[in-house]
Every structure is written in C-alpha cells, then in structure tokens.
A and B are shown apart, each in its own frame.
Chain A
Amino acid sequence: MSAITDLGVKAIRDGFRNGDFSAREVADAFNAAVAAARGLNAFVVETPELALAAAERADEARASGNLKPLSGVPLGIKDLFATKGVQTTASSRILEGFTPTYDSTVSGNLLAAGAGMLGKLNMDEFAMGSSNETSGFGPVISPWRRSDGGNAPLTPGGSSGGSAAAVAARIAPGVTGTDTGGSIRQPAAFVGITGIKPTYGRCSRYGMVAFASSLDQAGPMARDVRDCAIMLEAMAGFDPKDSTSLDLPVPQWEANLSADIRGKRIGIPREYRIEGVPEEIDRVWEQGIAWMRDAGAEIVEVSLPHTRYALPTYYIIAPAEASSNLARYDGVRYGRRKMPGQGGLTEMYEATRAAGFGAEVKRRIMIGTYVLSAGFYDAYFNQAQKVRALIARDFERVWEECDLLLTPTAPSAAFALGEKSNDPIAMYLNDVFAVPASLAGLPAMSVPAGLDKQGLPLGLQIIGRALDEQGVLDAGLAFEQRAGFTARAEAWW
C-alpha cells in the first residue's frame, strides 16, 4: 500500500469508510509529515492534537455508523480563517498572539463536516502578495525546484502559499485558500495542484480576516478537481452572519461531477494573449485548447475588451477597501500594542502599526488611503468602480457566445524568492489573468496543465458564469483526464 499521505481527500474519505485504515492512522501520518516538512515553513501553527481529536471522533463515528461527509479527513486551514482557540494572525505580526473565541463559518463548516485540522497555513500578510514573501513569519518555500540543478528556493505563489505548498508536498490532502485577486489560483498553478474560487458569496466571509471585502472569497485547494468539489460542498452555504452571502442551496457538485462536456462552448479571450508572456504559457494554453476540443467542446474566439484595465482597477479597489478594513488593528483591543515612552493615543497608533505591519501592507494602506481621499476619490475610486462594472459587463456579454473561458492562470511559472520582491509592479502582474474574474465575482479554477522547460508546473484557468461552479468543475475534470498531470515535487525537505 502506498503511503497514506499520497492519498487525496476522496481517497482518504472512502478508504477510511471502507475500513482500509483508521482516522487515527491518517492523522498520525499527516501530523508526522507536517512535522517533517518544517523546512517549507508552510504552517505558522501546527495543531496535531486537534487533528488527533477529530480522528478519534471519526473513528467513533465509524464504529457507531454516524459518519459525516469529511470524517477521517485532516485538512490545513489558511491563517486568514479565525479558528476558535487557535492563534489566528493572517500571518501578520500585528495579530501575533491573537486567539479568537470563534470559528470562521468556512472553517467551522469543515470541522462540523467531520474534518480535522492539521494547523494554520502560512500566507502573505493579510493576503496581500503573490509570492508569500510578505508573511510576517517568513516566506513559504515551494516544494518544487528547477530541473537545472540550481537549488534556488522558489515561491509557492501567494497569497495562499502555505496552502499550496502543503498540498504539493503531500503534508495535507486538502486545504482552504482565499482568493481576492488570484490568491488561490496563482499558487495552485505554481505548485501543480487544483484550486477553485467559487462565485462571490458562495462561501461566507464571516470570521475570515478581511482584505478587500467586495473581492475576498474562500475556496478549496487540493490535488484534483473531485477533491475540490468535495471540499467546496462542505465549505459553501448561506450564512445570515454575512450580508453578502448568497441565500441559495449548495449544489451537489461532487455527485453531479461529469467529464462529459460535449457541446459546451469554450471561449478563448483574445485579450489574454499579452506581450512578454513566455512562449511556454502559450504552448500549454494551445495544448489545453486541443484537450477541450478533444473532449467535444466547441472552441470559440471571444473578446473581453476591458481586460487591460482590470489590473489597475483591482489595485485601486482592493487597497481602498483594505485601508479601511485594516484600521481596526490599532493596538487598542487585541493583538500587538506598542507604547512609545512619550505621547498619547496617536503615538500608540503610529508605533503599533509601524511595528506590526509589513512593507507591502503599509504600501497598500497608503495607496488605498490616497485613492479614497478628498480630491482623488472621483478620479480613482469612483472611476475604478465604473470600470469594474464594465469588466463585469464584458463577461455578461461573452456568455452569449460561450459557456466557459479557458485562459492561462498566471503569466509565468514559479519564480525564485527575492526575484520580484523589490518590484511591486512586476509582482502585481502575476495577477493579470486572475483579477478580471475576481472583479466580476465569477467562479474560476486553476488546473495543472504541464511543466515548463525547467520542470515547473504551469496551470490553466477555467472561468464560468456566476453560480456555474458545476460547469467549471466538469470542464476541469475533462481537462484533468486529458492532461494526466502526475508530476510531483521530489521531497528534499
């Protein structure tokens, strides 16, 4: 029998149900793998005791015939989700030592479905970053290395970098991620796993540390499409504690999963062919198109004319909301407080926030404060809101011509740590293909498509109509079956 840690969510769930192994064995195996992989810095907090406790409950449930949908499955939780009794920092020093008395709805849903928690996953600070280098607790190192023999540590992408690395390194079968402008999809692509951002409002944001409220959306990251479907089903659902949560039943995505996409029209947006993108990206894209055609889909060239405004629009709206959302970290009620020897409240704010926030977070607070300030609001924030509406309209129109879109997930493969960290614009460009679907609130998934010349994974993105996660998952499954992506990072850690 192969190692338990080589199994994904479905294989563990079913194997446990069938009596192939106990939940305790699963938890032990992953706890050990987590402990052995500290070199990746994927977890900021490990909770082996919680994984074991859930496993014990799962074993009892199996004995008494009370299995829950995720009984026996241990998961990693991104540190953006508040977890009762477990430190939650959004990987920011300003929240160091903060232990919530509450669970986020999404992580709470997973635990209520019988899952166990292996620990809290490292991420870019407050989810602001595309390389995990902005984490207050050090960057996550990708389990992948270039095939050129150089051992340059690579980024797992971001902001859900710890999540991506954990799945790719087989130290968690599935994890939660969050995606504001590509934070699930880009890291999934970088490490050769699957991750879906559902329609905005599918997953409750209650208890999820806010970055940009109108964009933030939780989603699963796992080894394959089916695992994502299983997890998303447990995570999603209407939540009266989040006014923006959608009051709709959760579809049975797993049961309805089908690779039969014959007759589906798959759009290839011409604006996603941009200058300066490595030829290999185009190559896997063409390959992906061929696979979709092979699956019986009809390929149509389409246009999303406002695509090139998406990134600047995103980098106005997201920082604007962030500048306000992060005002609460002021040292008054929780988290870090820094008191200078002299001065009063203002000096405490300044010292606390100067010490607690990292450079990227400060940059975005500054940008956001600027675009909302008197005299600039109309030129920036208001204008960005209008462009956002145009971008959403682009998609509305394109759905008249096609059912799904197939695009690259990111404009490059994983890069080395330090390679872009001094160039914010180059870093922001990572999200160029991910951001439009975020601004429009659409479901979008990254699936592994192949390797580049250096042996690093590349992913493609499938975007669907609002609420059509099923269509996205189905196309992903058809894609996955043809891509046959089995490459994995050799364990060096």
Chain B
Amino acid sequence: MVSSYRVQGATGEWEVVIGLEVHAQVTSRAKLFSGASTEFGAEPNAQVSLVDAAMPGMLPVPNRECIVQAVRTGMALQAQINTWSRFDRKNYFYADLPQGYQISQLYHPIVGEGLIEILLDDKDESSAKQVGIERIHLEQDAGKMLHDQHPSFSYVDLNRSGVALMEIVSKPDMRSPEEAGAYVRKLRSILRYVGSCDGNMEQGSMRADVNVSVRRPGEPLGTRTETKNVNSVRFIMAAIEYEASRQVDVLESGGKVVQETRLFDPDRVETRSLRSKEEAHDYRYFPDPDLLPIQLSDAFLDECRGSLPELPDAKRHRYETELGLSAYNASVLTAEVETARWFERLLTATGKAGPEIGRAASNWVISDLFGALNRLGKTITTSPVSPEQGAELLALVADGTLSGTLAKQVFEIMLETGEGPGTIVEERGLKQTSDTDAIEAVIAGVLEANAEKVAQYRSGKDKLFGFFVGQTMKAMQGKANPAVVNDLLKKALS
C-alpha cells in the first residue's frame, strides 16, 4: 500500500522517507560479556563487574543467553540468521564508556535481512504494509553520566555499562509518522511475545534513532538526518513530523539539508543539531581480538526455533479463522502478548472452542473488561477479575442464568469484591427468571397501572411496546429473561 502522507510545502508536495534504528535491551539476567546483573533501578555502580569497569587485563566472555535472544528475535522477524558472525570494536572516548570502545557488530552482524508487517488500520487487513529489516546486531550499552551530583564534577554510573542491546535496523521503508509509529508498536509487540526485550520505553529498554529525509515523490532519496535516542512512540512520530517539515523549509528556501546527528527535545517538540558529518567520530571499527567469531550450530538454531511462541500475526490470523473474530477484535486481542495470554486462558477456562465462544468472549473482553480496566486505571496484568472468573460469567450468560443487564451488574460486583460470579449470583439472588407465572403476574400489574397507554398501543402506537418492557423489567429488578418478557407482553397486549 502506498502511503499518501505528504508534507505540503510552499512549492508543492514532499514525500518523507524514514528508517529506524531501534535499540532494544536484551532480556537477560546478566550483561553481554560479564556476569553482572542487569536489573533496573539499583543503586549507582552496584551492578558493575571488573569487566564492565574495564579494569586492566579484563576480558569479555559472551553470554550465551544474549546470543539466544538475538537469534530468536531474528527468527521472529523472518530474518536471515548468520551462522558465522563476529564482534567488532567501535572506538571512542567518553567517560561512560570504560573500555574506550563499545563491542558491537559492524562487519558481520548476527542477523541479516528480515521484515515486519504493519497494519495502518486495525480494522482492515488490506492496510498491511511490509517494512524491511536490514540487520540486527548485538552490542554493549554504555554507562550513564550524572551531572547533578556535584558543582564542578560529573559522576558516572556504570550499572548499564555492558548491558546487551540489540540494534534492530529497518530499511528506509516508512513514509509517514503513522507508519513509523505502527512499526515501533509492532516491533515492540513481537519482542515482548518472543521475550527478548521487555519493550519498556520509559525505563530505556527501547529507544530509537530516527533517520529522516524528504524528496519530491518519485525522485531519488534526499540527504538524511539522524535524531538520536528518542524514547517513546509519540516522540518518534513528533520528531519525524518536525524534522520533515524543517527539511522541507530548508530546501524550499534554497538551502541544503546537512547530514548530521540531531537530538529531540520533547519539551519544545523540536529537533536540534548535535554534530555534523564533519565532526562525526572516526570509530576505527576492527574485529575484537579478545573474542572468537560466533558460530551457530544446527542444534543451537533448533533450540532457538523450538522456543519461539506463536507470534502476533499468526495468532491474529488464527483468531479470525478459528474463532471467527473480526479483524479488529483479532488485532486488539493480539497486539499485546499479555492480552492474548489472558484471552487464551479465558477460552481454555470456558472449555469451549471455535466461534461458538470466540465472538462472545472477545466482545466481552474488548468492551466490558477493557472498559472497566480503563476506568479503574488498571492493565490486563493487574485485572481484579481473573480469566477463570470471566469464563464463569460468560457461561452464566450463555446458559440463560444471567441477562446482559444482570451480567453487567454482576461484573461490577466482581470488580469491586473480587468474588466469583457464581457466588455473587447465589448470594445476592441476581439470577434471571424465566418463570412465566411470575412474569405474567407482573405484566398484568403493569398493564393495569397504565391502562391509558395500553389503549394507545392497541390503537396503533407500536412504539409504546418498549415502555411496557422497561416497566416490566423494572418491576422485576432486571431479573426477568427479556425474551420471555417480550413473548408474554405481546400475548397480553394482543
């Protein structure tokens, strides 16, 4: 699908070309080349090994778990897995980089080309677009500078120093901020399914370098800028929007876009120049002589493949075909791995399969459960109602014990008390009744009390039927089976 996003300049339309380099922290207890812990939020410099601090004579030893995670991620992105890869040193001086070089993979990354399919419209499969993955490589994170601890010195926290990152580089295939946003969300979703990154952008587990250029539609690529370390989907989209229109302004006023590194200021919603190409570092990449090349065996690849879960796209298609879900419902339920897991536990607990339960269950989750969680400021993982309780509620509706109205009432009580729906129905007598004698008696009372309206109805004012239903239900405190009420009312009024 061709994006119609265009920047309107004074001299006409411009197309935006976007590529993203996403840095995703690998989920692993230990760092890429040392045994130090990676937990977030520890005291400064509490998680630093001799290797991370680059003490004299210290050597890196690759952490197998990080290699596994990178390979699994590559497989999830349908990418080429390079069975021979190697680490290189990227040399530069900074106080948060103890070795004076970052161990990365320039020449022979562990993962090659792959792709991600994004949906620009959740309700519409035909809005799918494929974004190419150029490569994924493993590298070390740097430490953190603390500039606010002392009036004239900067402090360094090396807790993050050496933490494993995957740099996931896209091809310049995106053409609008929305596509970039959808790409990052989808990538995040896949990483979380795979369990190779927690995707937590607030804690810095995922951040993106945003490459943007503009051109007249159909013309060759323009000069790009790279905006570093943008750490939310919203900011990524804002940075692209700002950068695209800035570049259009520059070009339309006769200037040239300078190839440079920029930073995004979220407060002022703008990008600013950090350093130009001329000031760019010469990183003097070369193969790290402390490390042997990584060679992956077939057994290792099988192990990685065998541990992959069902991924969001496959799950979405399955929900549509097996469970008869709408594209939208399937999309919403599979976007986050926790939601899909919750939903599948719910299905399992119902003991049913296929569209018979799929539609009802998905509608209930999306409208009732999500609505309630939203209202309570909770997420699926902190839901006060368990999937098993949800399944019980759905069963009570399906067997006619509860009407839709009653079910909503029971659900509210479940949210408040955490009790199961069965208990609530029993203890509070909220069962729906289909007892025709009882309902007929109530109807008789309603008609008697509203004789005038009965006359109007009988003389052709059909719309009053709803009024009688409402009155009956009200008198029965909502517990009457609505279908039975309808039938009996029709008879009584005829």
Using a CB–CB distance below 8 Å, which chain A residues touch chain B? 81-82, 88, 90, 95, 98, 100-102, 104, 205-210, 212-214, 240-244, 320-321, 323-324, 326-328, 330, 332-334, 345-346, 349, 369, 372-374, 377, 381
Given A102-B50, A332-B95, also A243-B290 (CB < 8 A): yes
Q: In the complex, A183→B100 CA distance in Å?
A: 26
- Is A98 touching B59 in the complex (CB atoms < 8 A)? no
Name the residue of chain A whose CB is nearest to the CB of B53.
A333
The answer to whether A243 touches B99, judged by C-beta atoms less than 8 angstroms apart, is no
Contacting pair A328 B61 (CB below 8 A): no
Does B377 interact with chain A (Cβ within 8 Å)? Answer: no
19 contacts between A and B (CB under 8 A): A82-B57, A102-B50, A206-B57, A243-B292, A244-B289, A244-B291, A323-B284, A324-B91, A324-B101, A324-B284, A328-B98, A328-B100, A349-B93, A369-B284, A372-B91, A372-B284, A372-B285, A373-B284, A377-B284
- Contact between B289 and A328, CB atoms less than 8 A apart: no
Cβ–Cβ contact A90 & B56, under 8 A: yes
Q: Does B55 sit at the interface, judged by CB under 8 A?
A: yes
Minimum Cβ distance to chain B for residue A102 (Å) = 6
A327 contacts B286, C-beta separation under 8 Å: no
Residues of B279-301 at the interface with A, using a CB-CB cut-off of 8 Å, are 282, 284-286, 289-292
| Complex contacts, A243 vs chain B, CB 8 Å | 59-62, 290-292
A34 to B52, CA, bound (A): 37
B56 touches A328 (CB 8 A): yes
Contact B57 A104 (CB under 8 A): yes
Cβ of B289 and Cβ of A213 under 8 Å apart? yes
Q: Contact mask B94-129 → A, CB, 8 Å, 1/0?
A: 110011110000000000000000000000000000
B98 partner residues in chain A, CB cutoff 8 A: 328, 332-333
Verify A324–B286 contact, CB threshold 8 A.
yes
Q: How far is the CB of B209 from chain A (nearest CB, A)?
A: 20
**Taking CB as reference atom, which chain A residue is nearest B154?**
A345
For A345, what are the chain B residues with a Cβ–Cβ distance below 8 Å?
94-95, 154
Q: Which of A90, A207, A324 has the most CB of B within 10 A?
A: A324
- Residues of A contacting B93 in the complex (Cβ-Cβ under 8 angstroms): 327, 330, 346, 349
* Residue B54 is within 8 A (CB to CB) of chain A in the complex: yes
Cross-chain contact of A324 among B59, B100, B154 (Cβ < 8 A):
B100
Say yes or no: B56 contacts A98, CB within 8 Å.
yes
Given contacts A321-B289, A330-B93, A381-B286, contact A82 B56 (CB under 8 A): yes
List residues 21-67 of chain B with CB under 8 A from any CB of chain A.
50, 53-62
Which residues from A are CB-within-8-Å of B99? Answer: 327-328
Which residues of B line the A interface, CB within 8 A?
50, 53-62, 89, 91, 93-95, 98-101, 154, 156, 282, 284-286, 289-292
Question: Which B-chain residue is minimally distant from A216 (CB atoms)?
Answer: B289
Task: Name the one of B54, B156, B282, B291 contacting A328, with C-beta atoms under 8 angstroms.
Answer: B54
Contact B56 A327 (CB under 8 A): no
Give the chain B neighbours of A323 by CB distance below 8 A: 91, 284
Q: Are A95 and B59 in contact (CB under 8 A)?
A: no
- Verify B292–A244 contact, CB threshold 8 A: yes
**B280 shortest CB reach to chain A, Å:** 10
> Which 6 residue pairs spanning A and B have beta carbons closest together?
A327-B100, A372-B284, A213-B289, A214-B289, A207-B57, A328-B54
Min CB gap A42→B, angstroms: 22
A26→B152 CA distance, assembly (Å): 54
Contacts of B54 in A (CB 8 A): 328, 333
Given contacts A82-B57, A324-B101, A328-B54, 6 further A-B contacts (CB under 8 A): A206-B59, A212-B289, A324-B286, A327-B91, A345-B95, A345-B154
A381 contacts across to B, CB distance below 8 A = 286
Q: Is the CB of B89 within 8 A of A324?
A: yes
Residues on the A chain within 8 Å of B50, using CB: 101-102
How far, in Å, is A476 (CB) from chain B's closest CB? Answer: 29
CB <8 Å contact, A242 and B59: yes
Closest to A102 in B: B50
Bound Cα distance A242, B285 (Å): 22
**Which of chain A's residues have a CB closer than 8 A to the CB of B62?**
243
B282 partner residues in chain A, CB cutoff 8 A: 373-374
For residue B485, give the distance in angstroms from its CB to the closest CB of chain A.
76
Q: Which residues of A contact B91 (CB under 8 A)?
A: 323-324, 327, 372
Q: Is the CB of A330 within 8 A of B57?
A: no
With beta carbons under 8 angstroms apart, the residue of B59, B100, B286 that contacts A330 is B100
Question: How far does the alpha carbon of A209 sit from the alpha carbon of B55 in the complex, in Å?
Answer: 9
Question: What's the Cα separation between A336 and B162 when bound, in Å?
Answer: 24
Q: With A333-B98, A381-B286 as given contacts, are A241 and B59 in contact (CB-CB < 8 Å)?
A: yes
Question: In the assembled complex, how far is the CB of residue B85 from the closest CB belonging to chain A, in whole angstroms?
Answer: 14
* CB closest residue in chain B, given A88: B56
| Nearest CB of B to A462, in Å | 26
A90 to B101, CA, bound (A): 21
Knowing A243-B290, A327-B99, A373-B282 are in contact, say whether A209-B59 is a contact too (CB < 8 A). no
Question: Which residues of chain B are near A334, meaning CB under 8 Å?
Answer: 55-56
Given contacts A212-B289, A332-B98, A372-B286, contact A102 B55 (CB under 8 A): yes
Closest to B54 in A: A328
Interface centre among B53, B59, B93, B156 (most CB of A within 10 A): B59
Bound-state Cα–Cα, A326 to B54, Å? 11
**Contact indicator B156/A244 (Cβ below 8 Å):** no
**B57 and A320: CB pair below 8 A?**
no
**Contact yes or no, B59 A320, CB < 8 A:** no
Q: Nearest CB to that of B48 among chain A residues?
A: A333
- Name A103's closest neighbour in chain B (CB-CB): B57
Among candidates A209, A327, A349, A372, residue contacting B57 with C-beta atoms closer than 8 Å:
A209
Contact check, A205 vs B284: say whether CB atoms are below 8 A apart.
no
With A88-B56, A327-B91 known to touch, is A241 a contact of B61 (CB < 8 Å)?
A: yes
- A326 (CB) vs chain B CBs: closest residue: B100
Most buried by A among B93, B154, B282, B290: B290
In Å, the complex CA distance between A95 and B55 comes to 11
Which residues of A are found within 8 Å of B55, using beta-carbon distances?
Answer: 82, 100, 102, 333-334
Residues of B within 8 Å of A374, CB to CB, are: 282, 284
**Chain A minimum-CB-distance residue to B291:** A243
